[in-house]
Structures are given as structure tokens and as C-alpha cells.
């Protein structure tokens, strides 16, 4: 079951390169807030498709239409995440400023509340986009029905896959910068080498925004919906 969900999410996320590029534009412009809401709204549509679909089904990536609705859904998703992650954020800030030992508790709290937020968002899908459904006791009941340890296994597996994808990407980028372009530690201080390294870094950042980040977002959203369905 676990591997089937991961396999489905891997394949689903590469269905349409054009969609990933459009999402990449939103990622790149997410500092402008509105594109951020568009992005999270589209993630919500991916979750909705998964909740209303099935593992290894023939669902297609959602279309980019009804932008106003997508923005509203994105705002809802951001609010749900903010409410659920408020305690972990506060614990992290306290641990940084006052008690360093709290960082472990903050990390555990982040995992717990992030899991709750994922189920809450999927539950909102299942209740006609009603944001109140993200904060009911049903959320905990759903995790119990899935299995607390099974859900934790899914969640940690998703995080590990995200880390592997990012690690592989940045490892390849490092090879491009230091091997393919012929930049070594001996020439890095020279003017042309620095300019070339900066230009390459910018291009790599764009590649991450337009390819890697959108892929990870679709992958995670697909998993969120599919896990909800095994309750």
C-alpha cells in the first residue's frame, strides 16, 4: 500500500510538464503573496483530485481555471497551516532565543501538527470546501482509522523522499558548477570564475523553482489525498 501510493504520486507528478512550468512561475513569484495563494490553491485542487480518485487511477492534473476560487482555496489552506503550525513556530522561536533544548520538542510538535493539518485539509475537501472541517475531532479520528504509526510512516517517508530529491538535485548542480564548467577551488577567486559561478547559481535557482519545487508540491499533495482515502 505504501509503495503503491508513492509510485502513484511519482508518476502523477510528471504527467504534464506545462503544468509544472506554470506552477514554477507561481513559485518564483510567491513573494508577491497572490501567486502564493494561487500555488496553494492549486495544491488543494491536486489533493481534491486524489481524495475523489484512487491509487493508480487515471486522474489528470487539475486545470488552471476559475482563478478566483483557486485563490480563495489557497487562502484557506494557508490559514489552516498557520493555525496548526502556530504552536511549533512559537516553540521554535522560544528555543532559539531562550531554551535551546526545546528545539527537539518543537520538531516533534511540528511533525504532529503538520500531520494534523494535512488530514484537516483533505477533510475540508470531503466536506464541500468547508474550512471548519479542518478543525473538527474527525481529523484525529481519521488518523486513528488509518493507523497512527502507519500515517507517521507515510509522513516520514514523504519527508525522506523530499530530502532525497533535493539532495540529488543539489549534488548534480554542484557537479555542473565545479566540474562541467571547469570551476575549481583554485580559480574560484578569479573575476570571470565568480561571475560564471553566480550566473550558473541563478540559472540553477530558476531550474529549482520551475521544475523541482513544483514536482515536490504536486507529489506531496497527491500523497496527502491518497493517504486520506485509506481511512
In eight-state DSSP terms, residue 212 is I
Q: What is the pLDDT of residue 187?
A: 52
Q: What is the pLDDT of residue 169?
A: 87
Q: What is the pLDDT of residue 196?
A: 64
3-state secondary structure 119-144: HHHHHHHCCCCCHHHHHCCHHHHHHH
What are the residue ranges of helices labelled H in 52-147? 67-97, 102-125, 138-146
3-state secondary structure 171-193: HHHHHHHHHHCCCCCCCCCCHHH
Q: What is the pLDDT of residue 123?
A: 97
- The per-residue pLDDT string of the chain (231 residues; one tens digit each, 9 = 90 and over) reads 788 999 999 999 988 888 999 999 999 898 889 999 999 999 999 999 999 999 988 899 999 989 999 999 999 999 999 999 999 999 998 888 777 778 889 999 999 999 999 999 999 999 999 999 999 999 999 999 999 999 999 999 999 999 999 998 888 877 776 665 555 554 555 556 566 666 667 777 788 888 899 999 999 999 999 999 987
Q: Taking the model in full, what pTM does it have?
A: 0.88
Amino acid at each position: 500500500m505504501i509503495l503503491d501510493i508513492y509510485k502513484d504520486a511519482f508518476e502523477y507528478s510528471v504527467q504534464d510538464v506545462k503544468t509544472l512550468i506554470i506552477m514554477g512561475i507561481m513559485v518564483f513569484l510567491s513573494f508577491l503573496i497572490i501567486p502564493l495563494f494561487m500555488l496553494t490553491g492549486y495544491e488543494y485542487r491536486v489533493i481534491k483530485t486524489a481524495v475523489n480518485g484512487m491509487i493508480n487511477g487515471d486522474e489528470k492534473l487539475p486545470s488552471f481555471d476559475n482563478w478566483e476560487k483557486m485563490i480563495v482555496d489557497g487562502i484557506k489552506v494557508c490559514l489552516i497551516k498557520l493555525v496548526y503550525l502556530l504552536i511549533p513556530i512559537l516553540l521554535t522561536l522560544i528555543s532559539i532565543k531562550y531554551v535551546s533544548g526545546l528545539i527537539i520538542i518543537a520538531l516533534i510538535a511540528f511533525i504532529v501538527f503538520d500531520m494534523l493539518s494535512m488530514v484537516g485539509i483533505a477533510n475540508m475537501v470531503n466536506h464541500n470546501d468547508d474550512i471548519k472541517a479542518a478543525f473538527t475531532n474527525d481529523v484525529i479520528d481519521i488518523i486513528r482509522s488509518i493507523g497512527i504509526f502507519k500515517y507517521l510512516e507515510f509522513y516520514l517517508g514523504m519527508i525522506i523522499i523530499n530530502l532525497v530529491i533535493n539532495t540529488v538535485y543539489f549534488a548534480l548542480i554542484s557537479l555542473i558548477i565545479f566540474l562541467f564548467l571547469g570551476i575549481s577551488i583554485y580559480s574560484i577567486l578569479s573575476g570571470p570564475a565568480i561571475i560564471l559561478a553566480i550566473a550558473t547559481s541563478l540559472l540553477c535557482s530558476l531550474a529549482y523553482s520551475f521544475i523541482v519545487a513544483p514536482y515536490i508540491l504536486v507529489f506531496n499533495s497527491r500523497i496527502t489525498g491518497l493517504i486520506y482515502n485509506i481511512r
